[in-house]
Structure 1
């Protein structure tokens, strides 16, 4: 099991990194290893110490 460190981002939020290998599997990275496009994720607290992260498609499409 890989462990990722929580990091302080600013006064109101913290973040955790997603491994590039996982992002690559989802098809979110280009050949150069950078994100291709703009993505949004829904993060939901589901239980003590548990969250889900779900990629949201088409949030700004009409």
Structure 2
């Protein structure tokens, strides 16, 4: 099991690094290994110590 460090981003939020290999599998990186375009992720707290991340294809406001 790979472990990723929880990091302080600013006063109101924290972040977790996603492995580039996983992002590449999802088609989110360009040929240079950089994020290709703009993407949004819905993060949902499921249970104590458990979250679910879901790539959002279209934003409907």
| Shorter-chain TM-score range | over 0.9
* 1:50 paired residue number: 50
CA distance in 1, matches of 2:4, 2:41: 18
Normalising by structure 1, what TM-score? 0.93
Structural RMSD (CA): 0.9
CA distance in 2, matches of 1:39, 1:29: 11
Gaps of 5+ in 1: none
Gaps of 5+ in 2: none
Within a 5 Å distance, the mapping from 1:9-48 to structure 2 comes to: 9-48=9-48
Where in structure 1 do 4 or more consecutive aligned residues deviate above 6 Å?
none
Task: Write out per-residue CA displacement over residues 11-57 of structure 1, whole angstroms, 9 at most, x where no aligned residue.
Answer: 10000010000000000001000011000000000000000000001
Normalising by structure 2, what TM-score? 0.95
The structural deviation recorded for 1:58 is 1.6
User: What number of residue pairs does the alignment pair up?
Assistant: 60
